[in-house]
Structure 1
Amino acid sequence: MEFPVRLDDKNYDIKKFLRDHPGGTNTLKNYKGKNILQAMEKFGHSVNAYHMLNDFKVESEKDSNLSGVSENGRIITKEEDSRDKEEIAYLEELEGRLDWSKPLLSQLDAIAPDYEKWVNSAVYRHCRLFSSPLLEALTFTPWYLVPACWLPAILWLATHQYREHVAHDNSEVLSILQFFWHLALGLFLWSIIEYSLHRWVFHLDPGKNLTMIKIHFLIHGLHHKMPFDGLRQVFPPVPALMLACIIYQPVSWFLSYPLIKLTGGLIGYLTYDMIHYYVHHGSPADGTYLYAMKRYHSNHHFVNHDRAFGISSEIWDHVFKTFVKLRTLGFSLRWD
């Protein structure tokens, strides 16, 4: 079933976007078949929303020759209340350098001088990264694969460490309270790692170096370019395992009971990855923690990509002064 809307004498079908709309599904339902310009202006939509519509444009003989609005459908991460035609044209020129029907990774040299601007102008679509079917298949990770891999590892580690340090009869036995203290400390350390990775690694400016651009695009850039791609929103288990080993080595040198803390850190990581997926695709109720984090993370993607780095928590955004205060709404958002 279609969900037609109109804007500037052009027709759009936003059916597939309803549940992904950052402003909720319920705010759209009353506008089916109607002109949405007045509503978009009333609720203060930025230029992002206007240009995202173009990925849902319904071509017809009447509107296919009309100009003015971008035809490739950009989300411009710049908060403003009016449309910037020069910015649209600039981003369209960038997008025109790439052929989306072919693997993108081998084409990034075409936009290398303007990579930061390009990667932060999101689209509602999917892309191919590699020409090799095997490599391409390895880039897809269903969300349920993450708990399926990490929950058994966490349970084994927790059980093994509990038996060795709590239930075992030796001179270094820990109390249950001490055991959970070390777990909690590992969870706390993960929260710092989460923020640090997201801000200083995933959002590292690769400059104009093509190798660095490709690395950045693979680890995080593609998520900002295609934030609604549900198969590329959780961390694949193998790279996650490699990263865990790299982080664990220096930590094990100066912290006591490092494997207990690693267990707590892995609990934190799994929680983070599941929250990240949920805030993109879930339907949290107003007043809940996940509702607030969904709105907060949407702001990071579509308005302030250089702020609001916290995903499972806002704590370190407050500490490092990258916190973004969201506007208070007079109504609840729903994504059903």
Structure 2
Amino acid sequence: MVAHKFTVDLNKPLVFQVGHLGESYQEWVHQPIVSKEGPRFFDSDFWEFLTRTAWWAIPTIWLPVVCWCISMSVRMGHTLPQTALMVAFGIFLWTFVEYVLHRFLFHIETKSYWGNTIHYLLHGCHHKHPMDGLRLVFPPAAAAILCIPKYHLNHHFRIQNKGFGITSAFWDRVFGTLPQTKAADRAR
């Protein structure tokens, strides 16, 4: 009996297909499809709706929360320098947590049906369809910043085992996962 390799049909909802790729999933998910329109994830319109977010939803939700937290710090009697230090520490902590999650959880290698399916929903879809504007997991402003130097896009299109920082390269420098520039690659 000849084993047939599973092929994903991009014209059908993807989520429950990708699990069938087994060990081939890692290779498949890291071959990006460059298109501004993302694929359909589910047959159900309800579940499909829950996977899409307009770009403005992230700042609309989080900016008021950040402003409220800062105003609460001031109302609690913290000085402006203390509040600024707490904000700076929060940014430092967030970039570290973001780096660790991206590098060690979102890049876990899977090959089981449910492992592949869950990974695709959490982060694999971002690698397969990195330009899908309705499935961003970070603020649009960060995406704009990343598109100018193309830092995080290197992680998707050039060196997928480097460049795990999303809004900052700081932790990539600390942990030695900073990708080299194309000029350095050509000089070799």
Relative to the length of structure 1, the TM-score reads 0.50
Instruction: Tell me how far apart the structure 2 counterparts of residues 109 and 213 of structure 1 sit (CA, whole Å).
Output: 5
Q: Which residue in 2 is equivalent to 1:163?
A: 75
Greater relative contact order, per chain length (Cα 8 Å cut-off, separation 6+): 2
- Structure 2 residue matching 1:308: 3-state secondary structure: coil
109, 115, 118: which is aligned to 1:215? 118
Q: How does 1:158-307 map to 2 (within 5 A)?
A: 158-164=70-76, 166=77, 174-206=78-110, 208-235=111-138, 273-279=139-145, 291-292=148-149, 294=150, 296-307=151-162
TM superposition shift of 1:110: 2.7
Instruction: Tell me how far apart the structure 2 counterparts of residues 197 and 104 of structure 1 sit (CA, whole Å).
Output: 24
- Structure 2 residue matching 1:140: 3-state secondary structure: coil
Instruction: Tell me how far apart the structure 1 counterparts of residues 142 and 79 of structure 2 sit (CA, whole Å).
Output: 34
Among all aligned residue pairs of Structure 1 and Structure 2, give the percentage whose two residues are the same amino acid: 37
Q: Which amino acid aligns with 2:103?
A: R
TM superposition shift of 1:279: 4.8
Q: Which runs of 4+ in 1 moved over 4 A?
A: none
159, 176, 180: which is aligned to 1:325? 180
TM superposition shift of 1:230: 1.1
TM superposition shift of 1:276: 3.9
158, 166, 185: which is aligned to 1:311? 166
> 1:102–1:128: 8 Å Cα contact kept in structure 2?
yes
C-alpha root-mean-square deviation of aligned residues, in Å?
Answer: 2.1
Out of 176-185 and 186-195, give the one that drifted further. Answer: 176-185
**Cα distance change, pair 279–220 in 1 and its aligned pair in 2 (3 A):** farther
Is residue 2:51 matched to residue 1:147? no
TM superposition shift of 1:316: 0.8
> 1:141–1:232: 8 Å Cα contact kept in structure 2?
yes
TM superposition shift of 1:232: 1.0
TM superposition shift of 1:275: 4.2
> 2:70–2:83: 8 Å Cα contact kept in structure 1?
no
> 1:224–1:301: 8 Å Cα contact kept in structure 2?
yes
Q: Deviations for 1:7-52, whole angstroms, at most 9, x for unmatched residues?
A: xxxxxxxxxxxxxxxxxxxxxxxxxxxxxxxxxxxxxxxxxxxxxx
Instruction: Tell me how far apart the structure 2 counterparts of residues 279 and 187 of structure 1 sit (CA, whole Å).
Output: 16
Q: Deviations for 1:98-148, whole angstroms, at most 9, x for unmatched residues?
A: 222211111123312211000001113431111110110111111111101
TM superposition shift of 1:300: 0.8
Q: Which residue in 2 is equivalent to 1:135?
A: 47
Q: Which has the larger radius of gyration?
A: 1
> 1:233–1:276: 8 Å Cα contact kept in structure 2?
no
- Structure 1 residue matching 2:182: 3-state secondary structure: coil
> 2:154–2:163: 8 Å Cα contact kept in structure 1?
yes
**Cα distance change, pair 109–181 in 1 and its aligned pair in 2 (3 A):** closer
Q: Which amino acid aligns with 2:85?
A: W
User: Which stretches in structure 1 are left out of the alignment for 5+ residues?
Assistant: 1-92, 167-173, 236-272, 283-290, 330-336
